[in-house]
Structure 1
Amino acid sequence: MTVFVDSVKIYVKGGDGGNGIVAFRREKYVPKGGPAGGDGGKGGDVVLEVDEGLSTLLDFRYQRHFKAPRGQNGKSKGQHGADAEDLVLKVPPGTMVYDDETGELLADLTRHGQRAVIARGGRGGRGNMRFATPANPAPEIAEKGEPGEERWVRLELKLLADVGLIGFPSVGKSTLLSVVSAAKPKIAPYPFTTLTPNLGVVDVDGERSFVLADLPGLIEGAHQGVGLGHQFLRHVERTRLLIHVVDIAGSEGRDPVEDYHKINEELRLYDERLASRPQVVAANKMDLPGAAENLERFRRAVPDVPVYPISAATRQGVRELVYAVADLLEKLPKEPFTREETEANEVKVFRAEPEPEPFTVRRENELFVVEGPRIEKLVAMTDFSREDSVRYFAHLMRRMGVEDALRAKGAKPGDTVRIGDMLFDFLEGEDE
């Protein structure tokens, strides 16, 4: 049996860029050739791609960490390192991607082949060819590759079905799905038989068809997450039409009119637009005693909604219901998505947040701490084993105003400064 998984959290990291290198030309009759160190290659991106053959996020339940490959290091003779290949992760249609820390919607993936980059690879470090100047024609400076972006993301699956079956548990939704399609949902006469959504394709007349989803039964309080509340309502959002199944016979002591209003109230409390989604009522269990009387009462109480008396068990009225649903679907828009989806149906590729400040300086006892995305990235890309690289880094720090900011916080020569994972002695110097 396939386990249905519709929400997972995964860690993704773009590949680090390859390192630039320090190299010099070594040619015959040219004893001291110029710089010839090439740039490193770009790290691979982490990309999500829709595969219509998938219907669950199960694969991500067992592997939750994904890291794209790093770029190749630069080479001598001015040759650049190769860019790394992207890491492509397949997801089912209907997958929504959120930044787990901020809750921001990063991508809404609905169509086969649709892609979104959710963690970019770092650029390759520059080789010493790129640092040559008239004042320093043979620099021993090369950058390390830029670290790839990393984050935790939350994947949520919202089924892409044309029609959703809604109603209280045990009103006959799974039986109806099994009758009108080739789907084989688990069916039993007790509440909450359906714990995960089931999909079936309904062939109407050989020329028309639609996808029907049997969704877990709603209960009161579902909009607050009670029972299977939010798991259920997430999938309802995607459907274009709802078949509201009621036990018209009241076989378990329920009142079909009251049940109808309670379900619609849960939809309204979750999202006003769901309550206005087109509905037809399947008055099920017409083969049981008391059904005819309740049907008349229901029609008087709910006069504005089409009601189709059926018996999923005996198939009475099922054909008429299916044809009516197919006719209605032809008149409805293809993608009535709600909430975030209505703002942009096209994929929203991740965009970097603007950096609020270049850096900040704070004091921790006797230690001075410099923080900021840009400056921490510079530290990660500097090769501190080479004197020219250290001198170039110090020049950048002075030009960015770090030295002045440290002095303003009370730093004196010899004090310890931390940037990222590196510790430095504060030494004042003159700009070059």
Structure 2
Amino acid sequence: MVWVSRVLLRKYGRFMDDLRIYVRGGAGGMGYPRLGGQGGHGGDVWLVAHENLTLRRLKSQFPKKRFVAGTGDNSKILALKGAKGKDYEVNVPWGISVVASDGKLLGELNKPGDRLLVARGGVGGSLFTNFHPTKGQAQSIHLDLKLIADVGLVGFPNAGKSSLLTSISHATPQIAEYPFTTISPELGTIECVDHKQITVADLPGLIEGAHANKGRGHKFLKHVERTNQLLFVVDVHGFQLSSKATFRTAFETIMLLAKELELYKEELRDKPTILAVNKMDLPDAERNLNELLEQLQNPQDHMHSLPKEMIPADSVSFKEIIPISALTGEGTEKLVTCLRKVLDEEAEKNIAQYHREQLNALHLSDI
């Protein structure tokens, strides 16, 4: 299994979702003591979000990963105030968080055109600095890419997420009958009848212990944070990663997925979630589905069979539970309708919340 994954990595390349770069603002220019001149400020370094960019391309274009702004001009007789040094604009992908080396979040670039100042230029020399300039701010920063999508597909390997994404959207992810086919997030777009587009992210399959970064879990789980709703995809027949791994029923699989998300970040429990029960075209699927539905209706009656560490702190609830077959297309039309419905409901909630906040702000300003 590891060998197969390595072949895929060689063929399709490693997905890069974080990159460390060095940025430094330009030094200020010298002042002119005889006439009280002031040197120009050093240039600043800005990150600017652009479309059609990747961190891999950024690294390829700038292998040294160093970005330094221009030095401010010195003060001189013909120009007592020196010109500001040239700013350096670093084009980066949109959808990134910018983190300092100490872990502090500096900001986010969530859409094309967003800008973030990451290194301020030094002050030009003047009377207040004894005409000596200061150096520009310098630091190493991490560019942390997180997908931004309407829907995030969550499931264990080989649950059929990639097949489902192909069935409902314009994506062409790699599909095969073995786990870990998806080695990097894939984005697809669903075109609705009214031309509204829904973006769907197929995230690489999780494994037990993903919250503790097992199987590079953190690199995959972080993408879930930037989706508006979750779509759990489970195999109605259960899941077994390998012959040495423990077999998990569909019910146990759901509990494990919920637990992994909960342990990684509790806020993920608040995201609206739909459950797609896949592979309904296979034998015994109906019987397994009925058993699963009964277990989900009365989960406490079946928790005793689960190890304590597998039990989520809160009860698992879904907006909808939809049996599907990604292979034949059974149930996928209903699934898309439900995804659209939940997105519209959440949008209405956000609009209502915005209006409430605006009204509260007006009331406070009148006091």
TM range (shorter): 0.7 to 0.9
CA distance in 2 between counterparts of 1:243 and 1:56 reads: 27
How has the CA–CA distance of structure 1 residues 71 and 2 changed in structure 2, closer, same or farther, with 3 Å as cutoff? farther
Q: Does 1:216 align with 2:204?
A: yes
| Residue of structure 2 equivalent to 1:46 | 45
Q: How does 1:215-294 map to 2 (within 5 A)?
A: 215-250=203-238, 254-294=248-288
CA distance in 1 between counterparts of 2:151 and 2:199 reads: 6
Q: Does 1:313 align with 2:324?
A: no
Amino acid at match of 1:120: R
Q: Is the 8 A contact 2:153 2:203 kept in 1?
A: yes
Amino acid at match of 2:80: Q
Q: Does 1:111 align with 2:111?
A: yes
* Partner residue of 1:21 out of 29, 32, 40: 32
Tell me the CA shift for residue 168 of structure 1: 0.4
Deviations 1:281-325 (A, max 9, x none): 111111111111111111111235321111111111111101110
How has the CA–CA distance of structure 1 residues 230 and 317 changed in structure 2, closer, same or farther, with 3 Å as cutoff? same
CA distance in 1 between counterparts of 2:177 and 2:348 reads: 35
CA distance in 2 between counterparts of 1:68 and 1:143 reads: 21
| Residue of structure 1 equivalent to 2:69 | 68
CA distance in 2 between counterparts of 1:70 and 1:277 reads: 48
| Residue of structure 1 equivalent to 2:296 | 302
Q: Does 1:327 align with 2:328?
A: no
Amino acid at match of 1:119: A
SS of residue in 2 equivalent to 1:162 = strand
How has the CA–CA distance of structure 1 residues 46 and 86 changed in structure 2, closer, same or farther, with 3 Å as cutoff? same
Deviations 1:249-270 (A, max 9, x none): 3376641111111010001111
Tell me the CA shift for residue 37 of structure 1: 5.7
| Residue of structure 2 equivalent to 1:397 | none
| Residue of structure 1 equivalent to 2:15 | 4
Q: Is the 8 A contact 1:240 1:335 kept in 2?
A: no
Q: Does 1:194 align with 2:188?
A: no
Amino acid at match of 1:299: L
CA distance in 1 between counterparts of 2:334 and 2:273 reads: 15
SS of residue in 1 equivalent to 2:41 = coil
| Residue of structure 1 equivalent to 2:96 | 95
Tell me the CA shift for residue 165 of structure 1: 0.2
Tell me the CA shift for residue 112 of structure 1: 2.2
| Residue of structure 1 equivalent to 2:3 | none
SS of residue in 1 equivalent to 2:260 = helix
How has the CA–CA distance of structure 1 residues 94 and 75 changed in structure 2, closer, same or farther, with 3 Å as cutoff? same
Deviations 1:299-352 (A, max 9, x none): 11123532111111111111110111011100114999xxxxxxxxxxxxxxxx
Paired residues in the alignment total: 311
Tell me the CA shift for residue 21 of structure 1: 2.9
SS of residue in 1 equivalent to 2:220 = helix
CA distance in 2 between counterparts of 1:43 and 1:199 reads: 41
- Long gaps (5+) in structure 1: 23-34, 132-140, 337-432
Name the Cα RMSD after superposition: 2.2
Identity of aligned residues (%): 42
| Residue of structure 2 equivalent to 1:84 | 85
How has the CA–CA distance of structure 1 residues 334 and 178 changed in structure 2, closer, same or farther, with 3 Å as cutoff? farther
Q: Is the 8 A contact 1:47 1:86 kept in 2?
A: yes
Q: Is the 8 A contact 2:40 2:85 kept in 1?
A: yes
Amino acid at match of 2:87: D
Q: Is the 8 A contact 1:5 1:58 kept in 2?
A: no
Q: Is the 8 A contact 1:216 1:228 kept in 2?
A: no
* Partner residue of 1:150 out of 135, 138, 143: 138
Larger mean Cα displacement after TM superposition, 317-326 or 111-120: 111-120
Deviations 1:85-113 (A, max 9, x none): 2111122222111111x211111221221
Tell me the CA shift for residue 275 of structure 1: 2.3
- Long gaps (5+) in structure 2: 1-11, 241-246, 298-316, 351-367
Q: Which has the larger Rg?
A: 1
CA distance in 2 between counterparts of 1:334 and 1:230 reads: 31
CA distance in 2 between counterparts of 1:334 and 1:192 reads: 37
Amino acid at match of 1:225: N
Q: Is the 8 A contact 1:265 1:275 kept in 2?
A: no
SS of residue in 1 equivalent to 2:29 = coil
CA distance in 2 between counterparts of 1:251 and 1:38 reads: 74
Q: Is the 8 A contact 1:14 1:122 kept in 2?
A: yes
CA distance in 1 between counterparts of 2:28 and 2:13 reads: 39
* Greater percentage in helix: 2
CA distance in 2 between counterparts of 1:236 and 1:257 reads: 21
